[in-house]
């Protein structure tokens, strides 16, 4: 008996529900924050990326209202077609000054950035060596580009060296990129403290850089996966103290590798 696509999808959804794996969407009827309202229930939110409580910050909300009055609601198309607004470039310049970089490009989300960057800067002559625990959006972005792709065991220098050696044996003198897992460059979504992990693995980051660049291979650098860090919140190079006396900052500068790491 032949099944239609609709019947097959209904069967798959039924199997997912029966296995207890179906995810129901929560409808939030309040501003995002530590305490939110879902339907009629008051609950504690522990799954958002609202680390600094900015989603419902009164000062930001007031600034957003003012900006809507002055600049309207969006560009009505992509930046490549419509151009950009002065406030976008102003934010990029301020981000560059904060991070100590030559320039900054804004994307609507990290997912969009990961989908666009690899395809733009890497070609068929390139090779990417990535930590096996990088974010799924990075994997999707890598698949969109023409570069060769390989992985190494999570934070395993010996395995990375093995992969580098294999590529050298193939005489592929190409640029290389090694991507760190987000949980070791700072905040761990599984609960490891973000104030110590990123700093603790700085030596590992530099070791990766040296390994990948060894053997007369040129490379664009080591971009760490720090999607959840929001330009970070550790060290003495921050702009203000948080409630727990921790300083927001640029973690590569705090770790002394700001000239060697590409954010």
**Confidence (pLDDT) at 194:** 35
Instruction: List, in sequence order, every residue forming a beta bridge with 127; answer none if it has no partner.
Output: 148, 176
CATH code of the region 110-254: 3.40.640.10
Angle at 148 between CA 131 and CA 141, to 5 degrees: 65
| Under 8 Å between Cβ of 34 and 53 | yes
Q: Which of the residues in the chain have pLDDT under 70? A: 1-3, 171-263
**Confidence (pLDDT) at 190:** 38
What the block records as the tokens of 164 is 């580098």
**Confidence (pLDDT) at 226:** 58
**Secondary structure of residue 44 in the 3-state scheme:** strand
**Confidence (pLDDT) at 126:** 81
Using CA atoms, how far apart are residues 88 and 107, in angstroms rounded to an integer?
10
**Confidence (pLDDT) at 233:** 47
**Confidence (pLDDT) at 149:** 87
Distances (CA, A) of 15 to 1, 5, 10, 76: 19, 15, 9, 41
| Under 8 Å between Cβ of 29 and 38 | yes
Q: How far is CA 229 from the centre of its chain?
A: 8
| Under 8 Å between Cβ of 31 and 56 | yes
Burial per residue of 247-260, b for 16 or more beta-carbon CB atoms within 10 angstroms, e otherwise = bbbbbbbbbebbee
**Confidence (pLDDT) at 176:** 60
Q: Where are the domains of the chain?
A: 5-44, 110-254
Distances (CA, A) of 238 to 30, 60, 84, 90, 195: 31, 19, 29, 20, 13
**Confidence (pLDDT) at 208:** 57
Q: What are the phi and psi torsion angles at 162 (to 5°)?
A: -60, -45
**Confidence (pLDDT) at 221:** 54
Using CA atoms, how far apart are residues 231 and 51, in angstroms rounded to an integer?
12
**Secondary structure of residue 196 in the 3-state scheme:** helix
pTM above 0.75, yes or no: no
**Confidence (pLDDT) at 147:** 86
Using CA atoms, how far apart are residues 83 and 93, in angstroms rounded to an integer?
17
Using CA atoms, how far apart are residues 121 and 111, in angstroms rounded to an integer?
16
């Amino acid at each position: 008996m032949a099944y239609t696509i609709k019947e097959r999808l209904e069967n798959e959804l039924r199997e997912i529900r029966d296995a207890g794996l179906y995810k129901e969407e929560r409808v939030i009827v309040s501003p995002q924050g530590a305490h939110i309202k879902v339907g009629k229930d008051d609950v504690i939110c522990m799954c958002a990326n609202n680390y600094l409580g900015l989603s419902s910050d009164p000062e930001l909300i007031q600034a957003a209202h003012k900006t809507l009055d002055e600049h309207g609601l969006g560009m009505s198309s992509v930046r490549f077609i419509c151009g950009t607004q002065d406030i976008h470039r102003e934010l990029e310049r301020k981000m560059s000054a904060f991070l100590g970089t030559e320039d900054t490009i804004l994307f609507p989300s990290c997912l969009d950035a990961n989908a666009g960057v690899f395809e733009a800067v890497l070609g068929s002559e390139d090779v990417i060596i990535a930590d096996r625990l990088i974010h799924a959006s990075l994997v999707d972005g890598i698949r969109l580009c023409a570069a060769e792709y390989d992985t190494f065991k999570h934070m395993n220098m010996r395995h990375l060296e093995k992969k580098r050696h294999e590529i050298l044996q193939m005489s592929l003198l190409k640029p290389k990129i090694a991507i760190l897992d987000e949980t070791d460059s700072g905040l761990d979504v599984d609960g490891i403290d973000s104030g110590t992990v990123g700093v603790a693995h700085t030596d590992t980051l530099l070791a990766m850089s040296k390994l990948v660049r060894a053997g007369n291979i040129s490379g664009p650098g080591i971009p760490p996966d720090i999607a959840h860090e929001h330009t970070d919140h550790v060290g003495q190079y921050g702009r203000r103290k948080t409630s727990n006396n921790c300083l927001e900052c640029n973690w590569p500068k705090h770790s002394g590798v700001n000239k060697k790491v590409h954010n």
